[in-house]
Amino acid sequence: MAIMTGMTSENTANTTMTTPVHTARTAAGTAAGNTAATAPVDAAASGTWTLGDRAVHRIGFGTMRLPQTGPALTPHAVPRDREQALRVLRRAVELGVNHIDTAAFYFSPLRSANELVNRALAPYGDDLVIATKVGPARGPDGHWTEHARTPERLRAQVEQNLRELGRDHLDLVNLRIVGTDPVAERFGALAELRQAGLIRHLGLSNIRPHHLAEAQAIAPVTCVQNPYGIGSSPAQDELLRLCGEQGIAFVPFYAIAGAGREGGASTAEPPQVRIIAEARGVSTAQVRLAWTLHRGPHVLAIPGTGDVAHLEDNVAAGALQLSAQELALLEEAHTDTPAD
């Protein structure tokens, strides 16, 4: 059963979905008895959520996979073709995507996600929300370095994102953490930058429930980014529910990749996911995304890809409505799959 959340009437009213729509899978969709769309689906079909002070479509775009082909966040990643990456970003916005997630530590040799976003999309539209994150750090050689834990280093990371994105402020900054240590000093440092006008809204990433309570005592929390998808642990289900009760956006990462994480999706899928995908004439990735969005109206997906066709499929997943029987079947997969 999907997790139910208590939301404001404004956001609940904005999450109406359309009937199932499919793209790039015309033959399969027709064979399965579904009516295939002749044009790509717009991200608006996924519904909307007010993220900070702007309404965004619930299907967004994550840039982690743009700078390279193959696994992300590795020192010797193969740079993606620059023009291909720019086409993907521009196509995302053409399809109505107005929530883009990026970070200064998303880079490969010769390619930077932030620089690609800047080149493809600047000057930025008024309705576009660009979220970034601070905390993790990589050296010029691509290897991980010490996590930013001091106000000085966090400010330096914020300023790096500002420079690379070509902005005088950041729409949303998520504090990405590792472990269970308190976040008060770090979140407080970002709250001061928010007061100074460098940041509009703050979020948290990779957290436990006590981190959320700790941060909320300092400044409003707009969103929580955590790993989540079919097979996630009960602890992540609980955090998703908690965010919904408090009107906080829950933004899953690895919703498609699951245990594959930075390496990407595995070819092994629970049989329940495969059955539904085959019956609907859609990909297993689309089923995973649709299930994720069904977990609550406050859930925003940010799937990433470096391929335009995959991008269009991901956006189309926002219009895929799952039946009660399908949701029950996927709930079995969710609880039967080993937790992350």
Distance CA 307, CA 317 (A): 16
Is residue 80 within 8 Å of residue 67, measured between CB atoms?
yes
Percentages (nearest 5) of helix, strand, coil residues in the chain: 40, 15, 45
Q: Is the pLDDT of residue 263 over 50?
A: no
Provide the 10 A C-beta neighbour count for residue 294: 18
**Closest listed residue to residue 61, CA positions, set 199, 321, 251:** 251
pLDDT on residue 336: 86
Distance CA 66, CA 144 (A): 19
Active site residue 106: yes
Section 29-52 average pLDDT: 73
For the stretch 77-101, pLDDT in tens is: 999 999 999 999 999 999 999 999 9
pLDDT on residue 328: 97
Section 291-314 average pLDDT: 97
pLDDT above 70 as % of the chain: 84
pLDDT on residue 339: 54
Q: Is the pLDDT of residue 131 over 60?
A: yes
- What sign does the CA torsion over 130, 207, 321, 286 have? positive
pLDDT on residue 33: 39
Distance CA 43, CA 316 (A): 7
Give the chain's domains with CATH numbers: 9-336 (3.20.20.100)
pLDDT above 90 as % of the chain: 81
Section 51-75 average pLDDT: 96
The active-site residue, picked from 106, 124, 228, 254, is: 106
Section 266-278 average pLDDT: 88
Q: Is the pLDDT of residue 261 over 90?
A: no
pLDDT on residue 320: 97
Residue 225: DSSP 8-state: E
Residue 34 token pair: 């579904």
Residue 46: DSSP 8-state: G
For the stretch 225-254, pLDDT in tens is: 999 999 999 999 999 999 999 999 999 998
pLDDT, greater one: 334 or 340 = 334
Residue 252 token pair: 């899953």
Section 184-209 average pLDDT: 98
